[in-house]
A and B are shown apart, each in its own frame.
Chain A
Amino acid sequence: MSPHHISSSFDDELNSLRSKIVKMSNLVEEQYKNALIAMQNKDQELADKVRETDRLVDQMDMEIEKQAIQMIALRSPVADDLRDIVSTIKISAGLERIGDYAKNLAKRVKVLSHGKTISVSSRFIDQMIKQIREMITDVIDAYITRDIDKAIEVWRRDEEVDNLYNNLFREMLAYMMKEPQNIALATHLLFIAKNIERAGDHATNIAELVYYINEGELLALKRPKDDSSNYTVIEPNSENL
């Protein structure tokens, strides 16, 4: 950790910004935990709670942005302080988006509760949510402890989320062809998975920001980006069925 600033109130402000990010990430992580339980148990009340939490998350994002702008105006930060504060605004915005996707999952609990359960897809979704929760926790941990190895590790993990999504996508296509009467339900599940996949992308961006704060350079590694669902085509007679 770098030595302290001569102005201790500046250190206090930086710490308060950081603890707000931690608090916000805890809320977002909880949104995913509850969204999953709500989907599994078709629990509308819990789903509503996820949506309420989202309002808190939005509010925190605005608070963080306001405080960061104030610090830029009053402290004129430079070097890693400047990178830290500007990136924190973007991290907060990223968490806010990740929270939005959780809200989206919660919205679909109502539809899900009318349909039957598709067991394969729920297994994938369970795993995706587990992954995203860990990514959120670990990337914010990396942000607080300034641990770039951990940030890179989270960044690489996005591949797993993408793979889960691609697998689920193929399953769903096959399922829809087999049981066209359940296309509506399958489509909802697809959207759910897509939302989690997008959340993973935002967590990955946060990992890149953590790297930038520490190194002053952009993460130059190439992400094994592979959302093959963009190109997946299944013919009715193909072997996938």
Chain B
Amino acid sequence: MENTSKAMIKARNVNVYYDDNHAIKNVDLDISSGTVTALIGPSGCGKSTFLRCINRMNDSIPSCRITGSITLDGQDIYDKTIDVVQLRARVGMVFQKPNPFPKSIYDNVAYGPRIHGFARNSAELDEIVFTSLQKSGLWDEVKDRLDTSGTALSGGQQQRLCIARTIAVNPEVILMDEPCSALDPIATAIIEELIEELRSRFAIVIVTHSMQQAARVSQKTAFFYLGEILEFGDTSEIFTNPKVEKTKDYITGRYG
């Protein structure tokens, strides 16, 4: 699969329901390559729900129904011809809690390339594992113990291992749902630095409850409120001069 660096997601009039619960309402959003897009908003406003729509993680929730359209490079990701496993390789996801497989560090990273048949031989697989760990900034710390379990790493290291696992399949988009919420400031700074480096090659969408983190890492910010996007724009503008009163109240910590 070719990694067109101009990956572009267009969400149009997206609505999501969990049975009667209308969780996402008429959301339009463009996500560009080379850009970190932050999704912010109060708990329960639909950030994770929307994020999961982008790589069809909601498919596994029986009560969940989605209308509208989401395209990746012009292709409808909910089209019947779409192979969901392929889609999730193109649109990878990093979760709040690091969730390495109970396998060796090497196998954690090699897992995706193996099932997608990215490597023709073990030398190529070694190469993919090496570059992925290098890009995620973990290589120097684990190069001497690639055969030890991924679960034996520290929380921050595990999160970088999960990022390595995600980028090993050469995605176009990386979705991150509160990736630093369980990490200390140093591990957080390392992940943020990594996000900045990855940005040139991927489109990144990050959900975060830390306003400072959103301000630090993203170029675009979408403010979600009760399932709607109330404000979307340049991060620098949103954090110095938000146009919508509700956005201002939220980011400055006022009663809405």
Task: Determine the chain A residues whose CB is within 8 A of the CB of B215 once the complex forms.
Answer: 78
User: Is A6 in contact with B255, judged by CB distance below 8 angstroms?
Assistant: yes
As a 0/1 sequence over residues 90 to 121 of chain B, the CB contacts with chain A under 8 angstroms (1 = contact) are: 00000000000000000000000000000000
A65 to B255, CA, bound (A): 28
> Is B81 on the interface with A (CB-CB < 8 A)?
no
User: Is A78 in contact with B252, judged by CB distance below 8 angstroms?
Assistant: yes
Name B179-219 residues within 8 Å CB distance of A: 211-212, 215
In the complex, the chain A residue whose C-beta lies closest to that of B211 is A78
Of the candidates A77, A216, A217, the one whose C-beta lies within 8 Å of that of B252 is: A77
User: Is A10 in contact with B240, judged by CB distance below 8 angstroms?
Assistant: no
A188 to B85, CA, bound (A): 85
> Is A12 on the interface with B (CB-CB < 8 A)?
no
Task: Determine the chain A residues whose CB is within 8 A of the CB of B248 once the complex forms.
Answer: 2, 79-80
User: Is B239 in contact with A2, judged by CB distance below 8 angstroms?
Assistant: no
**Chain A binding site: helix, strand, loop or mixed by DSSP?**
loop
Of the candidates B239, B241, B253, B256, the one whose C-beta lies within 8 Å of that of A7 is: B253
> Is A119 on the interface with B (CB-CB < 8 A)?
no
> Is A240 on the interface with B (CB-CB < 8 A)?
no
A/B pair count, beta carbons within 8 Å: 45
Name B219-256 residues within 8 Å CB distance of A: 239-242, 248-249, 251-256
Q: Provided the pairs A79-B239, A83-B240, A216-B240 are in contact, do residues A4 and B211 lie with their beta carbons within 8 angstroms?
A: no
> Is A5 on the interface with B (CB-CB < 8 A)?
yes
Task: Determine the chain A residues whose CB is within 8 A of the CB of B252 once the complex forms.
Answer: 5, 77-81
> Is A3 on the interface with B (CB-CB < 8 A)?
yes
In the complex, the chain B residue whose C-beta lies closest to that of A86 is B240
Task: Determine the chain B residues whose CB is within 8 A of the CB of A79 once the complex forms.
Answer: 239-242, 248, 251-252
Task: Determine the chain B residues whose CB is within 8 A of the CB of A77 once the complex forms.
Answer: 252
User: Is B254 in contact with A6, judged by CB distance below 8 angstroms?
Assistant: yes
> Is A185 on the interface with B (CB-CB < 8 A)?
no
A80 to B254, CA, bound (A): 11
As a 0/1 sequence over residues 153 to 176 of chain A, the CB contacts with chain B under 8 angstroms (1 = contact) are: 000000000000000000000000
User: Is B212 in contact with A216, judged by CB distance below 8 angstroms?
Assistant: no
A103 to B90, CA, bound (A): 69
A78 to B221, CA, bound (A): 14
Of the candidates B212, B241, B242, B249, the one whose C-beta lies within 8 Å of that of A217 is: B241
User: Is A78 in contact with B251, judged by CB distance below 8 angstroms?
Assistant: yes
User: Is A78 in contact with B255, judged by CB distance below 8 angstroms?
Assistant: no
User: Is A76 in contact with B254, judged by CB distance below 8 angstroms?
Assistant: no
Task: Determine the chain A residues whose CB is within 8 A of the CB of B256 once the complex forms.
Answer: 3
A5 to B249, CA, bound (A): 8
Task: Determine the chain A residues whose CB is within 8 A of the CB of B242 once the complex forms.
Answer: 79
User: Is A2 in contact with B241, judged by CB distance below 8 angstroms?
Assistant: no
> Is A82 on the interface with B (CB-CB < 8 A)?
yes
User: Is B254 in contact with A5, judged by CB distance below 8 angstroms?
Assistant: yes
Task: Determine the chain A residues whose CB is within 8 A of the CB of B212 once the complex forms.
Answer: 76
A80 to B242, CA, bound (A): 9
In the complex, the chain A residue whose C-beta lies closest to that of B243 is A216
Task: Determine the chain A residues whose CB is within 8 A of the CB of B253 once the complex forms.
Answer: 5-7, 10
User: Is B239 in contact with A78, judged by CB distance below 8 angstroms?
Assistant: yes
A78 to B253, CA, bound (A): 9
A34 to B208, CA, bound (A): 56
A213 to B22, CA, bound (A): 38
A76 to B210, CA, bound (A): 11
A79 to B248, CA, bound (A): 7
A6 to B256, CA, bound (A): 10
In the complex, the chain B residue whose C-beta lies closest to that of A10 is B253
As a 0/1 sequence over residues 200 to 241 of chain A, the CB contacts with chain B under 8 angstroms (1 = contact) are: 000000000000000011000000000000000000000000
A79 to B231, CA, bound (A): 14
25 A–B contacts from the bound complex (CB under 8 Å):
A2-B249, A2-B254, A3-B254, A4-B254, A4-B255, A5-B255, A6-B253, A6-B255, A7-B253, A77-B252, A78-B239, A78-B251, A78-B252, A79-B239, A79-B241, A79-B242, A79-B248, A80-B248, A80-B252, A81-B252, A82-B239, A83-B240, A83-B241, A216-B241, A217-B241
A residues lining the B interface (CB < 8 Å): 2-7, 10, 76-83, 216-217
- A10-B253, A82-B240, A83-B240 known; 4 other A-B pairs, CB under 8 Å? A2-B254, A5-B252, A77-B252, A78-B211
B residues lining the A interface (CB < 8 Å): 211-212, 215, 239-242, 248-249, 251-256
The 4 A-B pairs with the shortest beta carbon distances in the complex, nearest first, are A216-B241, A3-B255, A78-B239, A3-B254
